[in-house]
Amino acid sequence: MSNTNKLQTRFVTADEAGLRLDRWFRRHFPALGHAQLQKLLRTGQIRIDGKRAEASDRLAQGQSIRVPPQVVEAPSPEETKAQTQKQSAHDAVRLKKMILFEDADVIVLNKPSGLAVQGGTGLRENLDDMVKALARKGGGKPKLVHRLDRDTSGVLMLARTSFAAAKMAESFRRHTTQKIYWAVTQGVPKPAKGRIEAPLVKHGELMKVAETDEELEQAKSAVTLYQVMESAKGQAAFVALWPITGRTHQLRVHMAYLGTPIFGDPLYGGKKPSALPVDELGKGLHLHARRIIMPHPRKGSIDAVAPLPPAMQKTWAWFGFDGKAEADFSEA
């Protein structure tokens, strides 16, 4: 059935005479929010006797009210509640499979590639909404304390309490948290171990290393330590990365800056033609938040390691890279 067929015309009854239009809708369509009602009125989709109307209009017996399809088809509050509960249960199952560690203060997830951390245009789901399903009775929604790009997999920290969130945010701010990423680069970075200090500036929708005086004035400092763990005949390398700062797309831009973009990165050159056997390797961005070491909000420390996702496991296996390697940044 088309939406046109679901359009309804209703008539004001004697006991509804004198009601404001917005209250009439609240009585008949309680799931319709105020903002949505205002938009429908503003665009002329709701009418009284064929004429444009306002929420404050008073109704008279016998008047006709045009009710557009999206209002007719809107779920009832009971249906909405049931859908929300079903979605929450589904999210809880998915999230529990991602959990690497949890206690009363902290949740550590292994985020899959492709799942956005926060909402945005065109996104059907995001982690920030999903984690409502992990809220404990009497407690609020777990809080994000840092971010990962949508296409980056790996360790993501959440705080269960405001106290923990403040302590963890302070650890990131003071750089007492060590974040180790694993990546596969096209080509081998030279030298094999180093420190990249290249400030970043936004360029359209992307980031770039600042070069001009004008760009440098607007840029933010960005520092990355890197270490080549293994290489494959000069064609590719397994690289460990430690971003001292946490700028948007920092690791991706810095690796491209060295002339060795991260494999599978369509934004910063990782899709350029190369001698790599593309069809035999894993798909997607080869950047994984492998490990986080940080002070626990109350005592001790957290040392969380996320296993490689299946796509990157395939690449590691093809090249024969060591999946248990540990980077040493002690002399960096």
Spatial CB neighbours of 241, under 8 Å, sequence gap ≥ 6: 180, 181, 182, 183, 224, 225, 226, 251, 255
**Cα 295–Cα 299–Cα 302 angle in degrees, nearest 5:** 40
CA distances from 230 to 153, 254, 310 (A): 21, 19, 20
Neighbours of 161 (CB within 10 A): 16
User: Residue 205 has which token pair?
Assistant: 């929708």
CA distances from 61 to 8, 58, 168, 186, 291 (A): 17, 10, 61, 74, 68
Assess whether 213 carries a catalytic annotation: no
**Cα 169–Cα 198–Cα 203 angle in degrees, nearest 5:** 85
Of the CA atoms within 13 Å of residue 39, those in its CB half-sphere come to 8
In this structure, the strands spanning 236-243 and 223-232 are antiparallel
The burial class, CB within 10 Å (0-12 / 13-18 / 19+), for 97 is: exposed
Q: Where are the beta strands (DSSP E) in 77-199?
A: 99-102, 106-111, 143-144, 153-159, 178-186, 193-197
From the list 185, 154, 146, the residue with the least C-alpha distance to 268 is 185
Give residue 17's region: left, alpha or beta (phi > 0; psi -120 to 50). Answer: beta
DSSP H/E element including 215: helix 213-218
Neighbours of 165 (CB within 10 A): 20
From 105, 149, 151, 265, the catalytic residue: 149
Q: Which residues are catalytic?
A: 149
